[in-house]
Amino acid sequence: MILQSIILIAGLLLLVKGADWLVDGASVLAKKYKVSDLAIGLTIVAFGTSAPELVVNSVASSGGYPDIVFGNVIGSNNFNLFVILGIAGLITPLSVQSSSVWKEIPFSFLAAIILLLMANNYFSGTETSLSLIEGFALLVCFAAFLYYVFTQLKSEPPNQEIEQKVYSNLKIWVLIFGGLAGLVLGGKLVVDNAVAIANSLGVSEKIIGLTIIAAGTSLPELATSVVASMKKNNDIAIGNIIGSNIFNIFLILGVSSIINPLTYQLSFNTDIYLLLGGTLFLFIAMFTGKRKSLDRWEAAILLFTYLGYTTYLVSMEL
């Protein structure tokens, strides 16, 4: 099991580094073609930080591990919301744009509601699962979100130009394909060894997905939001999390259920309720204390709520 743990950690490092290379190469490529910084942030960076979840879930879905698929997405979303925003908000209070308060946070809440209804089959009335058709429906929702993002771009003021990296075409494509290779290999290592560790410890795949894999695949979001918070770039810090949570449900679960229909355990409902409660708390936090801001005490509530819930989850398994 020690060897499997080492390989699991190596897989997580490959996921993080692969996402970093992919974002770096794609961003420079986009810059060469005069794509705006905002467009890059809302598309390439958002996709790049969600790429580990996409790869891990694609591998897990094709291998027939639905608990890891749901555990990774729901767990990553909770980790993003409670831990990453909690840490970023403790570093500095996070001011939020009006569009995030009134559109993006509610959009994230709606995504979780749609997942809850689809997974519990309120629409079809058959067994609890995500079917092929529901997977396509999630992708349609994702397309609607992308449409919203690009309509927002037209109304956004021009971003201040940042220092641009200059790479040769060869280096750009080496970074992009090297990043993709790292993601694929890292995802395979993470899933295979996480399942092996769960089996040897007698811990459910659900718990492994909700904790170790979810935290590991959220490392790119953690790094991005913490650095953004330290640099007082609040829009990136909070926008990265909200956008990633929407990506995870609509895109990643959509793709995963198209690869293989996913049987859903009703016990995941509790984790979705936690996600809904946290998202609602974030919305309410915009109107308490300093308006349109996540204050430090509110960030602390998010962080300690997650720590308490995770402790409860693990204690129930032991």
Confidence bin at 164 (pLDDT 50/70/90):
low
pLDDT at 10 over 60: yes
Among 210, 211, 220, 213, smallest CA distance to 194 is for 213
Q: How far apart are CA 101 and CA 105, in angstroms?
A: 6
Task: Report pLDDT for 272.
Answer: 96
Region of 64 on the Ramachandran plot (φ > 0 left; ψ -120 to 50 alpha; else beta): left
Confidence bin at 154 (pLDDT 50/70/90):
low
Domain-wise residue ranges, the chain: 2-317
CATH of 2-317, one of 3.30.70.580, 3.30.300.210, 1.20.1420.30, 1.20.120.10: 1.20.1420.30
114 or 157, higher pLDDT: 114
pTM for this prediction: 0.80
43 or 286, higher pLDDT: 286
Contacts of residue 95, Cβ cutoff 8 Å, sequence gap at least 6: 234, 290, 292, 293
Confidence bin at 29 (pLDDT 50/70/90):
confident
pLDDT at 35 over 50: yes
How many helices (H) and strands (E) are present in the chain, helices listed first? 16, 4
234 or 216, higher pLDDT: 216
pLDDT at 160 over 70: no
Phi, psi torsion values for 127, nearest 5 degrees: -65, 150
117 or 26, higher pLDDT: 117
CA angle 233, 235, 241 (to 5 degrees): 110
How large is the average pLDDT for residues 228-232?
73
Give the sign of the dihedral formed by CA 147, CA 152, CA 153, CA 154: positive
How large is the average pLDDT for residues 247-269?
92
pLDDT at 298 over 50: yes
**Percentage helix, strand, coil for the chain under 3-state DSSP, each rounded to 5:** 80, 5, 20
CA torsion angle for 148, 149, 151, 152 (degrees, to 10)?
120
Residues 241 and 84: beta-carbon distance below 8 Å: yes
Q: What is the mean pLDDT of the chain?
A: 82
Q: What pairing do the DSSP bridges indicate for beta strands 94-95 and 129-130?
A: unpaired
Confidence bin at 110 (pLDDT 50/70/90):
very high
- Three-state DSSP state, 294: strand
266 or 15, higher pLDDT: 266
Among 223, 268, 291, 245, smallest CA distance to 87 is for 223
Task: Report pLDDT for 43.
Answer: 65
Task: Report pLDDT for 279.
Answer: 94
Ranges assigned E (strand) in the chain: 94-95, 129-130, 262-263, 293-294
pLDDT at 139 over 80: yes
